[in-house]
């Protein structure tokens, strides 16, 4: 069971569905493994929980 893990910012349900579909499809094509074998885990991260250099992204971009 291959696992695809992605850490990203907040996404809509539609964006997540498209991402899962496209990542699994491309991985299946590349590795010649059935698409049904893939498990995709999405971890959404708030900008308060991500730092770039010495600064939180929420401070850098003024968003929450």
For 3-56, write each residue's pLDDT tens digit: 999 999 889 999 999 999 999 999 999 999 999 999 999 999 998 999 999 999
For position 64, what pLDDT does the model report? Answer: 55
Rounded to two decimals, what is the model's pTM?
A: 0.79
Catalogue the E-assigned strands of the chain: 3-8, 39-44, 51-52, 55-56
Domain 3-61 class, CATH top level: alpha beta
Characterise 53 by phi-psi region: left (phi > 0), alpha (psi -120 to 50), beta (else).
left
In a 3-state reduction of DSSP, which class is residue 52? strand
Locate tokens 């696992």: which residue?
Answer: 3
Domain boundaries, the chain: 3-61
Token pair in block for residue 1: 């069971």
């Amino acid at each position: 069971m291959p696992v695809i893990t992605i850490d990203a910012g907040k996404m809509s349900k539609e964006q997540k569905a498209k991402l899962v579909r496209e990542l699994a499809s491309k991985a299946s094509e590349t590795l010649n493994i059935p698409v049904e074998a893939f498990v995709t885990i999405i971890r959404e991260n708030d900008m308060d929980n991500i730092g770039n250099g010495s600064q939180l992204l929420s401070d850098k971009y003024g968003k929450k």
